[in-house]
């Protein structure tokens, strides 16, 4: 995630009111909601807000069956108590490998800890990660996966995620310098004229 995107996510998270109440762990909450914004899915459950939930853009522009897909998102805990992402489930992949967050002890810890009033960024270049392993079918930008994320205190929330768009444009080649080309052409023309004059002078000497 870029710094600008981080700032945008944090700003919206801090100033958006959370109107949902916390629910018991291990239950599908009635207050869990999901909505779409311009940069990915957003969902709320209890004191937890998920923003920009997407699958990382693959190098080949689509995932093949058997590939692993990295989940990217910002997880905001607006509550006064810590919480923990304990599982990510759904169809279309083998399992979700989870690691990171506050107090993480190592890779593949199986959970992401969330301190009170904290935002944890999840993604390939972040301290926390969620990897969906062994995709069952090819996945393109027009398709999506439905995931169920379970938090220890806030409960479960269902979110539909699609592939993210590229975060950088392809580099363009160096522009053609017409001015430089004209200069080279001018030098070439002057050289040709000099050669022609030398030839005419040599012919005159022979006569």
Over range 160-169, report the average pLDDT.
Answer: 78
Backbone angles phi, psi at 35, to 5 degrees: -150, 165
Per-residue pLDDT tens for 97-111?
A: 998 866 554 456 799
In this model, does residue 22 exceed pLDDT 70?
no
Residue identified by tokens 């807000």 is: 49
Q: What is the pLDDT of residue 40?
A: 74
pTM, two decimals, is: 0.64
Residue identified by tokens 């690691």 is: 99
The angle subtended at Cα 171 by Cα 166 and Cα 173, nearest 5°, is 155
Per-residue pLDDT tens for 10-21?
A: 444 444 433 333
Q: Domain spanning 3-162: which superfamily?
A: PCu(A)C copper chaperone (2.60.40.1890)
Q: What is the pLDDT of residue 100?
A: 83
Domain ranges for the chain: 3-162, 173-207
Radius of gyration in angstroms for the set of CA atoms belonging to the chain, rounded to a whole number = 29
CA distances from 24 to 77, 79, 102, 150 (A): 16, 14, 22, 11
The b/e string for 104-131 (b: 16+ C-beta within 10 A; e otherwise) is beeeebebbbbeeebbbbbbeebebbbb
- Binned at pLDDT 50, 70 and 90, residue 59 comes out as confident
In this model, does residue 175 exceed pLDDT 70?
no
For residues 43 and 202, the model is more confident at: 43
* Whole-angstrom distance, CA of residue 33 vs CA of residue 102: 25
């Amino acid at each position: 995630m870029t710094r600008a995107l981080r700032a945008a996510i944090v700003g919206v998270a801090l100033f958006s009111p959370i109107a949902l109440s916390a629910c018991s762990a291990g239950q599908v909450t009635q207050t869990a909601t999901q909505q779409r914004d311009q940069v990915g899915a957003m969902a709320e459950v209890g004191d937890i807000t998920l923003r920009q939930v997407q699958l990382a853009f693959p190098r080949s522009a689509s995932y093949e069956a058997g590939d692993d897909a990295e989940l990217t998102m910002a997880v905001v805990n607006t509550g006064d108590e810590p919480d923990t992402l304990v599982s990510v489930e759904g169809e279309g992949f083998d399992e979700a490998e989870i690691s990171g967050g506050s107090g993480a002890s190592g890779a593949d810890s199986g959970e992401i800890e969330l301190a009170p009033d904290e935002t944890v960024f999840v993604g390939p270049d972040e301290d926390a990660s969620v990897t969906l392993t062994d995709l069952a079918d090819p996945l393109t930008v027009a398709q999506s996966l439905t995931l169920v994320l379970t938090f220890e205190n806030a409960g479960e929330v269902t979110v539909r995620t699609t592939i993210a768009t590229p975060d950088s444009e392809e580099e363009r080649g160096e522009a053609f310098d017409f001015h430089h080309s004209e200069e080279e052409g001018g030098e070439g023309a002057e050289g040709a004229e000099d050669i022609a004059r030398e030839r005419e002078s040599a012919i005159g000497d022979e006569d």
